[in-house]
Structure 1
Amino acid sequence: MSLTTVDASGGLTRDNLHFLLGALHAETGLDPAGAQLIKFTNNAVFRLRTAPVVVRVAGSTAARDRVPLVVRVARWLRDHDYPAVRLLSGLDQPLRLHGQMITLWEDVPEVGPRPDGAALAVLLRRLHRLPGPPAGLPRWRPMREVRQRLAEPEDLGAADHAFLLRECDEVEEQLAGLRFALPPGVIHGDAFLGNVIAGPRGPVLCDFDGTGVGPREWDLAPVAVGRLRLDYATDDHALLAEHYGVDVTAWEGFPVLRRLRELKLVTSVLPILRSNPAIRLQWEHRMRTFRARDLTTRWQPYR
């Protein structure tokens, strides 16, 4: 038995994505011919060939719910001249087309060396010092997003579904008992190197789906977990800890944040598990090792 939730708007199959690009053309005049799909996990992201524009389509109900927040955060960062991706100007965003939520962004050419942990530390220190966060910025509620994804899985076995729900309960209980050492404030929410672009004027931050008010330790956790779990060639965590000034792995609550981060890495693609079959083998590998409490086997990034 497997659990499949049918999205009334049609879901994000590749056929539906191309249909949406056609609808976007009719709405904005942007030509989708030759558009390159550069990411298809919890969001589908295209780079247009005919204009310096990136198209971002929310990939689940949870992602769609966050899009208005993403727009507000992007405008707040622009107003503070913070180095981040910029919304395409001249349009009322987000766009709502055929039940989907779409945002359009200025393309940032990737030039120069790959950003490292030191570059991310600089971006995070600056973000954590910004004044006056946008109105309505939510409190950090990481399990809400995970549970939303578990409510709309594609081809998830019942036993795996039950296990992940139990994980949510256990992790939520552990989080409630943590005493964070750093002062809370605005956090990016998914601060790893995949969300840093080597722009022509220096590294810029992207992907604000998880931005909110919460513990700063959470912004330091993804790179630390990446060093321990993902098969990366470099140790960006050491540079992040040195340049930010905090080694989150030395904090007693880090094992709970690691468990939460890995739970999110397992569940992030559940709403498109059938729609994007290329990720299936890697997801099964992650699920199998996570369920076995195997903390040493390496994972690969979703492709």
Structure 2
Amino acid sequence: MTTPNTTFPENDALTRERLSEILAQVCAAAGLDPRGARLIKFTNNAAFVLPADSVVVRIAGSAPVRDRATTVVNVARWLAEHEVPAVRLLPGVEQPVMVGVHAATLWHYTEPSGPAPGGADLGRILHRIHSLPPPAFDLPRWDPVPKFRRRIDDAEGLPAGDRDWLRSRCDELDAELTRLDYALHPGAIHGDAFVGNLIPGPDGPVICDFDSVSVGPREWDLTPAAVGKVRMDYAEDAHTPLAAGYGFDVMDWPGFATLRRVRELQLVTSVLPNLVSNPGLREQWEHRYRTLRADDTRTRWSTYR
């Protein structure tokens, strides 16, 4: 793990105003050129493309994501070892790179090219991951609700009543999950498997974002595309070709209603630690939260921008 000298305080928030300073520290530690850096994502992570080096710098935006950085590095190496189509770490740099409390990982930039990925691509890659032998390192156990609770505790500017309601929903889902009877054999899962985490590359799509890789029910990896079909305003249905290619339709499984509720709570709580530092998230977050609290299962959600 690379740790450059910094003067950042331990409670330093990842804000748009600080991103350039943190990026410069990461690049200095890794010997990279930050000139012309382009921010391509800022939700629970900040991701920059460095055009001079053809590298992506991914900076964890919250404590839970930061704490998973070493596991992310190990997972990336495991997937590369088995030639799974996935984004690849930048070699020759000890990772993660720590800048104060901020953890960064460095990746080869995959220039988007070729046709847009779809559900069939996701199903094929998930089948590869689910077929791998267990890694030599320990993966965390899939246990989503404590992560939601931590994000609720770390939420920026959340009224007490909303915080209490979200905690109550966590209690309900924690109890429901203990009663599920899974149909598929458990094992390594991606944990956040939706088409948005596929990048079209010159040799076909590759999967990214390993923050949630764990050991758990394979049904969970099939849930995001299904929730995308019934909840999100996506132009394409990824679930139907995924289910056909994978050979299992999670929406026909009796436990899907519970996993849908878990996924939707995940989509609401994921950005809570960044609502003040990244105000562009709030409008969509409030829309999601209002409909979730009203038990409105029909109103569509959009992606965070």
- The answer to whether the aligner puts 1:68 opposite 2:97 as a matched pair is no
Superposed displacement of residue 190, structure 1: 0.3
Matching of residues 130-209 of structure 1 within 5 Å: 130-209=132-211
TM-score, normalised by the number of residues in structure 2: 0.95
Q: Report the equivalent of 2:41.
A: 39
2:191, 2:212 within 8 Å by CA — same for their partners in 1? yes
Superposed displacement of residue 88, structure 1: 0.3
Unaligned runs of 5+ in 1: 1-6
Q: Report the equivalent of 2:268.
A: 266
Q: Report the equivalent of 2:292.
A: 290
Superposed displacement of residue 37, structure 1: 1.0
Superposed displacement of residue 285, structure 1: 0.3
Cα distance in 1 for partners of 2:171, 2:123 equals 32
SS of residue in 1 equivalent to 2:282:
helix
Superposed displacement of residue 35, structure 1: 1.1
% identical aligned pairs:
55
Runs of 4+ in 1 over 6 A off after TM superposition: none
- How many residue pairs match? The answer is 297
Q: What is the RMSD computed on CA atoms of the aligned residues?
A: 1.0
Cα distance in 1 for partners of 2:284, 2:54 equals 32
Q: Report the equivalent of 1:49.
A: 51
Q: For 1:241, which of 240, 243, 251 is the aligned residue?
A: 243
2:57, 2:107 within 8 Å by CA — same for their partners in 1? yes
Letter in 2 for 1:251: W
2:26, 2:98 within 8 Å by CA — same for their partners in 1? no
Q: Deviations over 1:242-289 (max 9, x none)?
A: 101111000000000000000000000001101111111100000000
Unaligned runs of 5+ in 2: 1-8
Q: Report the equivalent of 1:89.
A: 91
2:134, 2:188 within 8 Å by CA — same for their partners in 1? no
Cα distance in 2 for partners of 1:24, 1:68 equals 16
SS of residue in 1 equivalent to 2:200:
strand
Q: For 2:102, which of 92, 95, 100 is the aligned residue?
A: 100
1:9, 1:98 within 8 Å by CA — same for their partners in 2? no
Q: Report the equivalent of 2:12.
A: 10
- The answer to whether the aligner puts 1:230 opposite 2:196 as a matched pair is no
